[in-house]
Amino acid sequence: MTRRALVLGGGGITGIAWEWGILAGLAEAGIALSDADLVVGTSAGSVVGAQVANGLDPSARYEAQLAPPDGELAGTFGTGTILRYGLAMLAGSRAPRKVRQRIGRLALRVDGDASARVRVIDSRLPVKDWPSETALRITAVNAETGEFRVFDRESGVPLVHAVAASCAVPGVWPPVTIDGGRYMDGGARSATNADVADGYDKVVLLAPITRGIGPMPGAGAHVERLRRRSAVALVSPDPDALRAFGRNVLDPAKRADAARAGRRQAGAVAAAVRAVWSD
C-alpha cells in the first residue's frame, strides 16, 4: 500500500497564507493533498496542518486569508534579537542540540504570559482536537534542553498547546509549558523537519523557508535524503510570492497578498506535484 505524506514548513503569517493559497490552487486542479496519510507541521505549518488533517476545506481557508487583519498586531524581530539569534546559530559548537539550547536561552528571555499566547492560538485555530483518521505530527523544541519533540494524538497534549509551542518563535513569543518543559518553535531545529516523513512512499513538501543556517538542515538536505526511498516534490515560494511576503513574515498586513501569490503559483507547480502524488 502506497503511503503519502504532506509536510508543511514554517514561515510566519505569510507562510500560513501562502500554504493555503498553494493548497487551494492545487485542490482546484484536482490534486487533493488533504488525502495524505500523514501531515507534518512545523510552526506556521502546524497551524495549516492541524486544519488540513482535520478535513477543513482549503478553498474556504484560503478565502479566510483574504479578510482584513482588523487591528491584529505584527510580531517583530528587533535588530538585537536577530543578532543574538545569528550568534547562537553560528558561534561556538556545531553540535545541533547545543545550538538549540543557545536559541532556547534567547527564547526563555522573552517576557510575556505563555498562557495568553495559547489563548490567542486557540482563538484563531478553528479545530481543537487531534484528527481521528489522518496522522498528524507537530514539531517543537525544548527550550531548556534543546531536545526535539514530535507531538501527535498519542502524546496526551492538547492540540492547541502543541500548535502554540510549535509557533513560539524564539525571541518573539514565550515558550509554552507542556509536561513541565518549556517548548519553542519547531523551526529551531529545521524550518521543515521533513525527515519526520521518512519511510513514506510519496512526500510533498511546502516550504515557505528553504534555507538552513549553521547545523539546521535546509529543505534541500531533507529532500536529498528522502529521495533515496521516496518520490518527493518540493514547492517553495517563487519570486512573486517572496515579494508578497515582504521583510516581516509576521506581518498580518501581508497575509492576503501572500495567499494570492500562493494561489497563482499553484498552477505552475501542479504538474510536478501531480506526478508525485497521483497513483
| pLDDT, tens digit (0-9, with 9 covering 90-100), for 203-213 | 999 999 999 87
Contact by Cβ (8 Å): 100, 85? no
Does the active-site annotation cover 240? Answer: no
Contact by Cβ (8 Å): 101, 146? yes
Does the active-site annotation cover 43? Answer: yes
Give the residue-averaged pLDDT of 72-96.
62
Question: Is residue 252 predicted with pLDDT exceeding 60?
Answer: yes
Catalytic residue among 43, 46, 190, 236: 43
**Torsion angle, alpha carbons of 250, 268, 22, 232, to 10:** -100
- Per residue in 232-246, pLDDT (tens digit) is 999 999 999 999 999
Cβ-based neighbours of 38, under 8 Å, separated by 6 or more: 3, 4, 5, 6, 134, 135, 136, 137, 197, 200
| Alpha helix (H) residue ranges in 125-254 | 159-166, 219-226, 239-245
Cβ-based neighbours of 82, under 8 Å, separated by 6 or more: none
pTM for this model (two decimals): 0.94
Torsion-angle region of 55 (φ positive above 0: left; ψ -120 to 50: alpha; else: beta): left
Cβ-based neighbours of 74, under 8 Å, separated by 6 or more: 13, 248, 250, 251, 252, 253
- Per residue in 177-195, pLDDT (tens digit) is 999 999 999 999 999 999 9
Cell of 268: 505552475
Catalytic residue among 34, 46, 166, 185: 185
Angle between helices 44-53 and 58-65 (to 10 degrees): 140
- Per residue in 96-127, pLDDT (tens digit) is 898 999 999 989 998 888 899 899 999 999 99
Cell of 42: 512545523
Torsion-angle region of 211 (φ positive above 0: left; ψ -120 to 50: alpha; else: beta): beta
Residue 19: predicted pLDDT: 98
Contact by Cβ (8 Å): 85, 178? no
238 residue type, one letter: D
Question: Is residue 73 predicted with pLDDT exceeding 70?
Answer: no
Phi, psi of 116 (to 5 degrees): -65, -40
